[in-house]
């Protein structure tokens, strides 16, 4: 019998984070940019692409369709989709993450057909894809089911007015990707305003698309006949930056976060200062310092520009160190408070009722074995380990490797005692 030992982080707690950290390119902007490269037979160069597992999965998905994806020096990717030979995404890859479903929009727009099974992704609640499918159908695609796959077909998509029931982040991206090559004008109402959607629209416009309104709840796309190659830079990862900001404040340290767009972190910075952290914002960098006592606050996770759900668990950990009773209301996903049971093992006093976690602080945490349940709960448990007395072992860190570039290396540079086993 063969046993496969999963990698773990061993963290010795109670060391302040101090120093400078540079933020990598955003996972959730790089993934749709890779999908966008399917819209042309020219080369697309994508800069500032983080070296993380989710990018490798997307790379495999594109290659399985016939594209070539080459890593160039300096975190750049060259994608060429001149020789696409299948319009069906492979199920064994699509079930590994959510973003793989983003190949549907560009394949449908460029070739008139696309197929994929429902995507996988973190276990954080119901994650339907109805807004994607309803959007494709509104653009004129016929949607059918062939075994596990959804198949979308339309000789050429027609621009239309689409109302999204929910401002789905990758739902908006998939519809933008599909609508660029549609005939006529598409108007997407109740669109997602997340910065990654804006970064995608900028790339598509550089490729010759005519998109306006990205970053607001109404996006208009004037369809064009073809798109060409481009060179596009991925925005800094606001969730990685936010994770370091919270970790700096939670350990009562001082962290300067470089290569960041501070505007993208408005909600977090507002909440951190409300809790008592000192924040200094400069052009392209921010410093988080927390000398004073932290105080309890209430936080609601909402679509952008609300507080990011991807930072909700890390903020929950910080609030275990704040004096008083805090409430964290998760309003994006219906099952994203599972990390609380791991946090309780470390001594946190948290009660969950529906979508709300009530956190009683300040409570000392004690190192113990805990499990990363998804990318962001994993990051939260690492922060808990940095605060805790004694040694914390975080298992299943493959989740973290999907979304954070060299997290342990960057933390060590800030003085954390963290080791990968
Ligand atoms: N929703 C619907 N109908 C749909 C699609 C979504 O009701 O057709 C609901 C979901 O049930 C969920 C909510 O909308 O409750 C949010 O889902 P959304 O579709 O906006 O999320 P996503 O696009 O699948 C992206 C990120 C997530 C991030 C969310 C919210 C990528 C690859 N993923 O997911 O990132 O949490 O937006 O900002 O961009 C992560 O990086 O760890 C991560 C989970």
**Which numbered atom of ligand 1 lies nearest the CA of 376?**
42
Predicted confidence at residue 2, as pLDDT, reads: 55
Whether ligand 1 lies within 6 angstroms of the CB of 386 is answered as: no
Residue 206's pLDDT band, with cuts at 50, 70 and 90, is: very high
Residue 128 pLDDT greater than 90, yes or no: no
Cβ atoms of residues 65 and 87 within 8 Å: yes
User: 164-188: per-residue pLDDT in tens?
Assistant: 999 999 999 999 999 999 999 999 9
- How many angstroms separate the alpha carbon of residue 317 from the centre of ligand 1? 22
- How many angstroms separate the alpha carbon of residue 192 from the centre of ligand 1? 10
Give the chain's mean pLDDT: 96
Predicted confidence at residue 290, as pLDDT, reads: 87
Residue 4's pLDDT band, with cuts at 50, 70 and 90, is: low
Whether ligand 1 lies within 6 angstroms of the CB of 31 is answered as: yes
Residue 62 pLDDT greater than 80, yes or no: yes
Whether ligand 1 lies within 6 angstroms of the CB of 361 is answered as: no
User: 21-59: per-residue pLDDT in tens?
Assistant: 999 999 999 999 999 999 999 999 999 999 999 999 999
User: 340-394: per-residue pLDDT in tens?
Assistant: 999 999 999 999 999 999 999 899 999 999 999 999 999 999 999 999 999 999 9
- How many angstroms separate the alpha carbon of residue 115 from the centre of ligand 1? 20
Residue 142's pLDDT band, with cuts at 50, 70 and 90, is: very high
Q: Which of 7-16, 84-93, 123-132 has the lowest mean pLDDT?
A: 123-132
**Average pLDDT of 201-222?**
98
Residue 242's pLDDT band, with cuts at 50, 70 and 90, is: very high
**Average pLDDT of 9-15?**
97
- How many angstroms separate the alpha carbon of residue 388 from the centre of ligand 1? 31
- How many angstroms separate the alpha carbon of residue 232 from the centre of ligand 1? 24
- How many angstroms separate the alpha carbon of residue 295 from the centre of ligand 1? 30
Whether ligand 1 lies within 6 angstroms of the CB of 372 is answered as: no
Residue 1's pLDDT band, with cuts at 50, 70 and 90, is: low
Q: Which of 58, 97, 126, 170 to mutate to test the pocket of ligand 1 (most atoms within 8 A of CB)?
A: 170
Whether ligand 1 lies within 6 angstroms of the CB of 237 is answered as: no
Predicted confidence at residue 124, as pLDDT, reads: 82
């Amino acid at each position: 019998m063969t046993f496969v030992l999963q990698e773990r982080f061993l963290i010795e707690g109670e060391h302040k984070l101090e120093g400078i950290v540079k933020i990598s390119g955003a996972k959730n902007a790089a993934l749709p940019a890779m999908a966008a490269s399917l819209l042309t037979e020219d080369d697309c160069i994508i800069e500032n692409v983080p070296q993380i597992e989710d990018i490798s999965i997307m790379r495999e998905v594109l290659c399985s369709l016939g594209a070539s994806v080459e890593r160039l020096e300096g975190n750049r990717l060259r994608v060429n989709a001149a020789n696409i030979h299948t319009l069906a995404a492979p199920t064994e890859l699509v079930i590994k993450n959510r973003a793989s479903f983003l190949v549907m929009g560009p394949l449908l727009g460029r070739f008139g057909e696309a197929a994929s099974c429902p995507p996988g992704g973190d276990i954080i609640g119901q994650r339907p894809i109805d807004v994607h499918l309803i959007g494709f159908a509104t653009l004129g695609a016929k949607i059918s089911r062939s075994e596990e796959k959804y198949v979308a077909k339309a000789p050429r998509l027609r621009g239309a007015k689409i109302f999204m029931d929910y401002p789905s982040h990758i739902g908006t991206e998939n519809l933008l990707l599909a609508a660029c090559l549609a005939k006529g004008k598409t108007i997407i109402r109740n669109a997602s305003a997340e910065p990654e959607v804006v970064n995608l629209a900028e790339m598509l416009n550089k490729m010759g698309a005519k998109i306006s309104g990205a970053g607001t709840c109404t996006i208009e796309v004037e369809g064009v006949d073809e798109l060409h190659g481009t060179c596009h830079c991925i925005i800094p990862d606001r969730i990685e930056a936010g994770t370091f900001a919270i970790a700096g404040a939670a350990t009562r340290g001082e962290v300067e976060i470089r290569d960041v767009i501070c505007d993208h972190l408005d909600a977090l910075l507002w909440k951190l200062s409300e809790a008592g952290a000192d924040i200094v914002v400069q052009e392209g960098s921010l410093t988080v310092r927390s000398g004073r006592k932290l105080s309890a606050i209430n936080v609601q996770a909402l679509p952008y520009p609300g507080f990011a759900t991807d930072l909700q668990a890390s903020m929950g950990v910080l609030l275990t160190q704040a004096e008083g009773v805090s409430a964290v209301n998760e309003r994006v996903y219906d099952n994203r408070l599972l990390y609380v049971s791991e946090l309780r093992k470390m001594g946190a006093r948290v009660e969950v009722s529906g979508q709300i976690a009530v956190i009683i602080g300040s409570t000392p945490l004690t190192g113990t074995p805990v499990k990363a349940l998804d990318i962001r709960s994993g990051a939260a448990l690492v922060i808990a380990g940095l605060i805790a007395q004694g040694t914390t072992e975080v298992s299943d860190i493959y989740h973290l490797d999907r979304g954070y570039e060299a997290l342990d290396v960057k933390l060590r540079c800030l003085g954390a005692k963290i080791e990968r086993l």
